[in-house]
């Protein structure tokens, strides 16, 4: 059974090795300075440029939009469910909201392309058929249950004595929620936000379907862009020969993605470790 | 002045109540709109014909036969690989592993793996299973990749289910002279099985919906035959949907919507079973 547990270690080591080896051979053909500073990414064109910045800006843009949607909604829902709603209402609503997290991402991609983009076009006529705004919003709805569920867990682990003390001082529910409970649960809430960001950065199908496939160094949400993940899908769908520089680009893009999520995951793990057990 | 302050606070309280309720209604409304749209678009296309037709250049003749058979293959193989590995690792970490730096490292490692984007697992599968192990773009390579992807979820839920078994049960069994393995086999596992099963089903339903890693390992959108064994090339429902969504013709979009209905039925059924098991198991065993 120890061998079963070791599989997880082998997995991690293999991921890092494979990404690193292919990336090293990639950088023997492409300068690392170009990779980090060039604002053009055109490995599949005749005139090749290998700047990761356009893919990075696309990834950060869709992630920022997703968080802008998921954070206020998710927090409001978590606070409402935990501090205002009755236990029976909560028992009904929580599983319903979690349905949002089990819908496959390819289905969300369909929604972004077929429903949200046409809907947004009625307000923003200059919106392109592929854009960052619509998949960003849909991604926000997808990651919302992460924030609402995990934050609610954090809020509900705040001991009732704190609430009672606050009510005893004459505070109402709103004051108690925002001045006592939320600060007390802040580490858990921050962890939920970091995990949601990490999830959004790695999300693939929604952006592959609805954001377009045009790497562009911009933060304009109305034009077609491409994220790191969508680029890997684009190359995988075509027939790029194994061992070519174009083939290696997906590993260089992959390691960039991996580094971002790895850092975020470890920060959240560290916060959980350091502050998580405060009320247990 | 004090009265004014308290009025302001009462107002904030009311406003937030409205914001909370509105947020929830907004989210549920979106869910309803999405699902209604899918049913409106796709239900007319759904037929027995659609289920048993091979993919085709013509939207009206296309079906999802290869796709759902592929999904079924992947589901079964992934379960066969991930279930014993994940539960084994969970039991080991909870019952056997000494609490030292190694167990801490394993824990951090599993937490990390759970956060690795699924497409990275695709890159791992592409290099390791498809190229180095020479499995090609086969069902086996896809299932192994997805098994690694859901392994952390199964391990974590196995551990939680085992942790929920009270220590007294364990101690009673040991006091009666049972060995450690007998205690695990006859007491701990039966008592935690409902929880383990719930976690496994949830993990597998996630694997069924995964698209990106399978695209990366080279699962094809167009497979003109039904796979007959684990070494055949394959496609799955999510990839078929992705392929149809990416086409400009409206008829293919209708096909995608119909296929989405089938995919959602599968994932919702699996999640429903998991929730049912969890509730039943919690009711049955109250320590």
Is residue B130 within 8 Å of B137, Cβ to Cβ? yes
Least confident segment among A53-67, A113-127, A154-168, B53-67: B53-67
Interface mutation target, options A25, A110, A141, chain B, most CBs of B under 10 Å: A110
Q: What is the mean pLDDT of residues A89-101?
A: 89
Per-residue pLDDT at B238: 96
d(CA B56, CA B43): 20
Would the pLDDT of B281 be above 80? Answer: no
Q: Does A267 touch chain B (CB under 8 A)?
A: no
Task: For A241-257, give the DSSP string.
Answer: PTTSHHHHHHHHHHHHH
Mean pLDDT of all residues in B15-40 = 95
Q: Give the model's pLDDT for residue B224.
A: 80
Angle at A57 between CA A55 and CA A62, to 5 degrees: 100
Residue A73: pLDDT over 90: yes
**DSSP alpha helix (H) spans, chain A:** 2-29, 32-37, 53-79, 87-102, 105-111, 117-121, 133-156, 160-168, 173-176, 182-184, 186-202, 205-210, 228-237, 245-275
**Would you say A73 and A151 are in contact if contact means Cβ atoms under 8 Å apart?**
no
Looking at residues B238-256, what average pLDDT do you find? 92
Per-residue pLDDT tens digits for B171-185? 999 999 999 999 999
Write down the pLDDT at residue A243: 84
Residues 108-147, chain A, touching B (beta carbon < 8 A): 109-111, 113-115, 141, 144
pLDDT at B99: 84
Q: Kindly state the percentage of chain B with pLDDT values over 70.
A: 97
Half-sphere exposure for A69 (CA within 13 Å, toward CB): 21
Rounded (10°) CA dihedral A66, A120, A117, A104 = 40
User: What is the average per-residue pLDDT within A56-69?
Assistant: 97
Residue B155 pLDDT > 80, yes or no? Answer: yes
- A61 close contact with B: CB closer than 8 A: no
| Distance from C-alpha of B172 to C-alpha of B191, rounded to nearest angstrom | 14
8 A C-beta contact, residue B74 and residue B219 = no
H-type helices in B96-186, by residue range? 101-114, 118-125, 139-163, 167-175, 180-183
List, in sequence order, every residue forming a beta bridge with A50; answer none if it has no partner: A41
Q: In Å, what is the CA distance from B257 to each residue of B21, B68, B248, B262, B285?
A: 31, 15, 14, 9, 42
What is the distance in angstroms between the Cα of B24 and the nearest Cα belonging to chain A? 6
Q: Closest Cα of chain B to A39: distance in Å?
A: 24
- In a 13 Å sphere around the CA of B177, the CA atoms on its Cβ side amount to 0
A-chain residues within 8 Å CB-CB of B216? Answer: 232-233, 236, 250
Q: What residue of B is the nearest CA neighbor of A242? A: B131
The nearest alpha carbon in chain B to A110 belongs to B245
For residue A38, the distance in angstroms to the closest alpha carbon of chain B comes to 24
Question: pLDDT at position A109, please?
Answer: 96
Interval B35-62 mean pLDDT? 90
pLDDT of residue A199: 94
Express each pLDDT in A229-254 by its tens digit.
999 999 998 888 888 899 999 999 99
Confirm if B221 and B240 have CB atoms less than 8 A apart. yes
**Smallest Cα distance from B191 to chain A, Å:** 20
pTM: 0.93
Rounded to 10 degrees, what is the CA torsion of A167, A169, A173, A174? Answer: -160
Confidence of residue A115 (pLDDT cuts 50, 70, 90): very high
Measured CA to CA, the distance from residue B27 to residue A216 in angstroms comes to 31
Most confident of A122-126, A136-140, B242-246: A136-140
Contact B23 A265 (CB under 8 A): no
Task: Residue B39: count other Cβ atoms within 10 Å of its Cβ.
Answer: 16
What pLDDT band is residue B1 in, cutting at 50, 70 and 90?
A: low
- A199: nearest Cα among A188, A207, A211, A209: A207
Pairwise CA distance, residues B264 & A102, whole Å: 9
Tokens 């690792």 label which residue? Answer: B89
* Binary contact (B264, A107; C-beta < 8 A): yes
Best residue of A2, A3, A4, A268 to probe chain B, by most B CBs closer than 10 Å: A4
Distances (CA, A) of B3 to B6, B15, B61, B149: 5, 18, 73, 58
Among chain B residues, CA nearest to A113: B245
Q: Are A205 and A105 in contact (CB under 8 A)?
A: yes
Give pLDDT tens digits for B116-135: 999 999 999 999 999 999 99
Of residues B34, B88, B253, nearest to A111 (C-beta): B34
- Position B84 scores a pLDDT of 95
Among A111, A133, A107, A110, which Cα is nearest to A225's? A133
pLDDT (tens digit per residue) in A4-51? 889 999 999 999 999 999 999 999 999 999 999 999 999 888 888 899
Q: Per-residue pLDDT averaged across A88-110, rounded?
A: 92
Nearest to B12 among A79, A106, A174 (CB): A174
Nearest CA in chain B to A207: B212
Judged by a CB distance cut-off of 8 A, whether residue B215 touches chain A is yes
- pLDDT tier, B55 (very low <50, low <70, confident <90, very high otherwise): confident
pLDDT for B5 beyond 80: no
Residue pair A150/A188 in contact by the 8 Å Cβ criterion:
yes
Strand-pairing partners, residue B138, are B233
How many angstroms away from the CA of A43 is the closest CA of chain B?
18
Position A191 scores a pLDDT of 92
Kindly state the average pLDDT of the residues A102-112.
Answer: 96
The average pLDDT across A136-163 equals 93
Residue range B223-240: mean pLDDT, rounded: 90
The percentage of residues in chain A with a pLDDT greater than 70, rounded to a whole number, is: 98
Instruction: Tell me the backbone φ, ψ of residue A53, rounded to 5 degrees.
Output: -55, -45
Which pLDDT band, with edges at 50, 70 and 90, does A202 fall under?
very high
The pLDDT value given to residue A278: 58
Q: Check whether B261 has a pLDDT greater than 90.
A: yes
Task: Indicate if the pLDDT at residue B283 is higher than 80.
Answer: no
pLDDT, position B286: 56
The answer on pLDDT for B287 being more than 60 is: no
Q: Per-residue pLDDT for B222 more than 90?
A: no
Instruction: Residue window 60-119, chain B: list those with CB within 8 Å of chain A.
Output: 84-86, 88-89, 91-93, 96-97, 105-106, 108-113, 115-119
Q: Is residue B159 over pLDDT 90?
A: yes
* Facing A4 at nearest CB: one of B85, B113, B115: B85
Q: How confident is the model at residue A277 (pLDDT cuts 50, 70, 90)?
A: low
Residues of B in contact with A79 (CB under 8 A): 16, 20
Residue-level pLDDT at B4: 73
For chain B, the average pLDDT equals 91
The three-state secondary structure class of B99 is coil
| Coil/strand/helix, residue A202 | helix
CB contact under 8 A, B96 and A113: no
Q: Encode pLDDT of B197-212 as tens digits.
A: 999 999 999 999 999 9
């Amino acid at each position: 059974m120890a061998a079963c547990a070791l599989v997880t270690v082998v997995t991690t080591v293999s991921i890092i090795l494979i990404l690193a080896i292919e990336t090293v051979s990639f950088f023997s053909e492409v300068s690392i300075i170009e990779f980090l500073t060039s604002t053009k990414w055109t490995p599949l064109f005749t005139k090749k440029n290998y700047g990761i910045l356009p893919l990075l800006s696309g990834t950060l843009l869709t992630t920022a939009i997703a968080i802008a949607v998921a954070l206020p909604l998710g927090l409001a829902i978590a606070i409402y469910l935990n501090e205002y709603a009755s236990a029976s209402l909560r028992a009904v609503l929580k599983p319903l909201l979690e349905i949002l997290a089990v819908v496959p991402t390819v289905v969300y991609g369909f929604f972004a392309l077929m429903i949200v983009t046409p809907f947004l076009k009625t307000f923003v006529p200059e919106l392109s058929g592929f854009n960052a705004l619509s998949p960003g919003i849909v991604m926000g709805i997808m990651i919302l249950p992460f924030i609402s569920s995990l934050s609610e867990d954090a809020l509900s682990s705040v001991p009732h004595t704190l609430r009672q003390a606050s009510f005893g001082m004459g505070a109402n529910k709103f004051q108690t929620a925002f001045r006592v409970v939320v600060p007390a649960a802040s580490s858990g809430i921050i962890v939920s936000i970091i995990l949601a960001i990490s999830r959004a950065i790695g999300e693939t199908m929604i952006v592959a379907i609805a954001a377009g496939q045009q790497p562009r160094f911009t933060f304009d949400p109305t034009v077609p862009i491409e994220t790191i993940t969508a680029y890997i899908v684009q190359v995988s769908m075509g027939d790029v020969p194994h061992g070519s520089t174009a083939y290696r680009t997906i590993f260089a893009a992959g390691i960039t993605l991996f580094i971002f999520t790895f850092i975020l995951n470890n920060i959240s793990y560290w916060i959980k470790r350091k502050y998580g057990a405060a009320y247990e | 002045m004090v009265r004014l302050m308290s009025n302001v606070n009462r107002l904030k309280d009311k406003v937030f109540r409205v914001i909370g309720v509105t947020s929830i209604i907004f989210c549920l409304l979106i869910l309803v709109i999405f699902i209604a749209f899918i049913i409106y678009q796709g239900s007319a296309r759904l037929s027995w014909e659609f289920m048993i037709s091979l993919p085709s250049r013509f939207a009206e003749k296309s079906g999802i036969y290869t796709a759902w058979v592929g999904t079924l293959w992947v589901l079964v193989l992934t379960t066969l690989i991930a279930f014993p590995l994940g539960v084994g690792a969970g039991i080991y970490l909870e019952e056997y592993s000494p609490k030292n730096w190694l167990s801490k490292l394993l824990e951090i490692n599993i937490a990390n793996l759970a956060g690795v984007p699924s497409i990275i697992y695709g890159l791992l599968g592409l290099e390791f299973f498809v190229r180095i192990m020479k499995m090609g773009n086969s069902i086996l390579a896809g299932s192994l990749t997805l098994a690694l992807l859901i392994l952390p979820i199964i391990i974590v839920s196995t551990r939680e289910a085992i942790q929920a078994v009270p220590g007294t049960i364990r101690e009673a069994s040991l006091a009666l002279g049972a060995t450690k393995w007998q205690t695990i086999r006859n007491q701990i596992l039966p008592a935690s099985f409902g929880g383990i099963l719930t976690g496994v089903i949830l993990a597998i339903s996630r694997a069924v919906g995964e698209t990106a890693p399978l695209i990366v390992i080279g699962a094809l959108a167009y497979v003109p035959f039904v796979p007959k064994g684990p070494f055949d090339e394959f496609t799955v429902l999510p990839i078929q949907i992705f392929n149809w969504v990416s086409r400009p013709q409206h008829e293919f979009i209708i096909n995608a919507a119909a296929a989405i209905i089938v995919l959602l039925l599968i994932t919702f059924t699996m999640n429903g079973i998991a929730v049912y098991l969890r509730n039943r198991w919690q009711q049955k065993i109250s320590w």
